[in-house]
Chain A
């Protein structure tokens, strides 16, 4: 399968680069010729309406807002701002589609629609990857090899569940909840739409999804794909707008289920807002995940893991390995190798196939990252950023960087930065590593590097985190449940566990 090859390809690349390629000289890096992906394949309309009931509907607010290419600052298109009346129409449409059509559609037929959607995504994979890169700023290497294969795989995986739900919960009868209100973030725009929509439809719910205001274009392309797949009108409705639109959606009295991915701050607001209702809730929120390197780790591979853990997707990853914990005896070696490796990271045009770190998604995010870096410089810690490479003159870019010797109590070790900024702290014993790793209100993910199996299992089971990557990091798969402990939210997405939030088990 396409997906599998792409993923394995990536794996092989990682392995190769842990070897001799580490010795890339600065000169070699500077002379790397650009290799631009063509954007000719992508057609962006001047203006987009709301996708409600299988049609493009003008917003009753009559308001539109621009969406930008963060790598250049150019305006790509104008998006409709959905107001309360538009949200109401979308929810009513989803309710009607649920009652009249989707709840009467067999599991087998729901499955067929999802398979069709998966195939259409695969067919338009390159186009969607380029569109995502233009709209989001993440490198084409990632949209092409990670985001898009996973998007198709999520639909393909969930498609197969639709007519087998009785096996997911043996001995129990299950029923869909009704209308699901879904609000997604801007860091993996199309992938988050897939994580939300695919299990909701497989389990028999209808959907109103609000895309993130800075990255709605691929969700709107997905709307088109749903229509092309012949999905009955109103089963998936996609609306655009900012926080107010999202608030109107989750607070609409006729939604049965709220699924939100975003910040812990907003997650708490949603949890309180819908407390008096019977709406079911799943939240996938922030993180400050610990990435632990033990002295007995394969250090060169671990350094690649650190890079992938924090600089993947510009660090705009809720589960980013943003707190590096290194065993004291190898700390100097790890930091030295990390610095050297960082000199060969290429920051720049996201459409360049060589680019490792693309554009920060928006000016607001860039300013937030810069502010936190400034705070870090005022507090303790040794700041490092690679000397090589110059940032593009236009657009929003930030160099990868880290702060070494940072105390657990420092601002940068407490706050989720959501950018390419790492902190480094040392430990002496596994107990100390576990205690420092768990010293956070979050609990989304964690990484462990050690060549000792028994230690990995002991540490993994002591960590308060929903995903533990051992001798790897930032791996995702539709069969693999994902979600957090504590203030990183509740509920799981992916795998059999990802079906439960959308079902009532009788």
Chain B
């Protein structure tokens, strides 16, 4: 129930996880407290996601993936732009959460939200363009028409580190889904309360259910569950702990997951291209 510190007796909001388009508590019934930064005053109890919650999220993401990648690139771009619009309309809530739970200054929080909106608009505009930049028509020597196109890798596990800048997090999320991937995301611990307004943005942007699933909890507990899940094709780790990096690669090898670092620039092609497969198609030319 966020905002318990309010001076008036307001109606606080329970922060739930967002799985398969629904706001849900952890099936485990577990929770953990988030405090107003630098105090012992409770801001909200967040859900402590479980192994079973991760599995439910992966199933939702897997089921949503063909439909989402089957949408036209234009349509995916429009939905990402809608996410930018909805983020703008929830600007004050994002800023309040950052200042209260993370101790960010108001100015820094406002500028972080602005950059997140920039990133959403940026990738909204990339959804129907990266194919042309990354694909190719290949001049083979034999009489065949041959082209290489990009496809989404499938279900991506987006893993927070201890802390990830909000705009970097939102930008990488947008880049991954703009090509038709679906996501199971473990919120970075420091930013986990931002799950509340972010999930409401997702729920009100015409994004099909299951495309993005947001979970909160103890990363050390959940990361291995995501990394070893056989229906996830790629992992994106947003932290810089080399031990975690190594652990993800070892666990991910069982089904040859692509373990990918986030793009070095929040807004750049690399944030998209790391989550694509390339398919080459041949067809004879003749009568």
Interface, chain A (partner B; CB < 8 A):
1, 3-4, 7-8, 11, 153, 264, 267-268, 271-272, 275-276, 283, 285, 441, 456, 460-461, 463, 465-472, 475, 477, 479-483, 485-490, 492, 495-497, 505
Contact = CB atoms under 8 A, between A and B. Distances in A.
A475 B284 CA distance: 10
Interface stretch (B77-85, B92-100, B106-114, B274-282): B274-282
A466 B276 CA distance: 11
A272 B281 CA distance: 31
Contacts of A469: 281-282
Nearest to A456: B283
Given A477-B138, A481-B148, A441 B253 contact: no
Contacts of A496: 136
State the majority secondary structure of interface residues on A: mixed
B284 A471 contact: yes
Contacts, number: 110
B280 A467 contact: yes
A376 B249 CA distance: 35
A264 B247 CA distance: 20
B278 A466 contact: yes
B139 interface: yes
Interface in B243-262: 246-247, 249-250, 252-256, 258
For the complex, would chain B's binding face be called helix, strand, loop or mixed by DSSP majority?
mixed
B242 interface: yes
Contacts of A495: 136, 138, 148, 280
Interface in B262-287: 270, 277-284
A3 B142 CA distance: 9
Nearest to B140: A477
Closest 9 CB pairs of A and B: A275-B249, A477-B140, A271-B253, A276-B246, A479-B138, A470-B283, A4-B141, A468-B281, A487-B256
A167 B84 CA distance: 34
Contacts of A275: 246-247, 249-250, 253
A492 B249 CA distance: 19
29 contacts: A1-B141, A4-B141, A11-B142, A11-B143, A268-B256, A271-B256, A272-B250, A275-B246, A441-B255, A460-B279, A466-B279, A467-B279, A468-B279, A468-B281, A471-B283, A472-B282, A472-B283, A472-B284, A475-B144, A477-B140, A477-B146, A479-B139, A480-B280, A488-B256, A489-B256, A495-B136, A495-B138, A495-B148, A505-B270
B143 to A, nearest CB: 6
A290 to B, nearest CB: 14
Interface in B102-157: 136, 138-144, 146, 148, 151
A336 B136 CA distance: 40
B233 interface: yes
A111 B136 CA distance: 22
Given A481-B278, A492-B278, A7 B141 contact: yes
Contacts of A276: 242, 246
Contacts of A461: 151, 279
Contacts of A460: 279, 281
Contacts of A488: 256
A489 B146 CA distance: 22
Most A Cβ at <10 Å: residue of B141, B151, B249: B141
A497 B282 CA distance: 16
A497 B148 contact: yes
A15 B278 CA distance: 30
A468 B282 CA distance: 6
B181 to A, nearest CB: 13
Nearest to B286: A15
B277 A466 contact: yes
